[in-house]
Structure 1
């Protein structure tokens, strides 16, 4: 069992960076970004209260509060509205 856990952990370390690399900020011009209002409506529908949406190097950085009152910080590709794994993606 220990051997299986070690192998699973190693596989996760190898696959993790590869998966994260596929999600990144947009390199398209701002004219191709989807409207912030579209993202805000989507997040509101998921039960979040959006406090602010900022544009950071091709990403929308979202500051919101979830149903439990917990502050959340997320990043989305501004062109596709795909949620990114790294909440600070636009700041790098």
Structure 2
């Protein structure tokens, strides 16, 4: 019995660690996703110019430029359209 409880505790800890490591992934059924047009409109409402909208790790990912012309990469939740991650991209090739 003690062995079983120990194994369950180890499994629970590993599972929680994996969930924390993948917290930028989106796990939403496709039927519940907002359409790409809604993502494009959300970007426009924020003053962003969209170069590309793609799907990465189950989330929408917007590549484009912000209102100041800086390159951005924005990860968006496909159901709520909440911004999960916002990154400025380096324009330098070095």
Q: What TM-score comes out, normalization by structure 1 length?
A: 0.61
> RCO (CA 8 Å, sep 6+): is it higher in 1 or 2?
1
Structure with the higher helix share, 1 or 2:
1
Structure with the higher strand share, 1 or 2:
2
Tell me if the contact between 1:48 and 1:66 (Cα under 8 Å) persists in the aligned partners: yes
Which protein is bigger by CA-based radius of gyration?
A: 2
Consecutive unaligned residues in structure 2, runs of 5 or more:
1-19, 88-94
Point out 4+ residue stretches in structure 1 off by more than 2 angstroms: 23-26
Tell me if the contact between 1:26 and 1:79 (Cα under 8 Å) persists in the aligned partners: no
Consecutive unaligned residues in structure 1, runs of 5 or more:
1-19, 88-92
Q: What TM-score comes out, normalization by structure 2 length?
A: 0.60
In the alignment of these two chains, the number of paired residues is 67
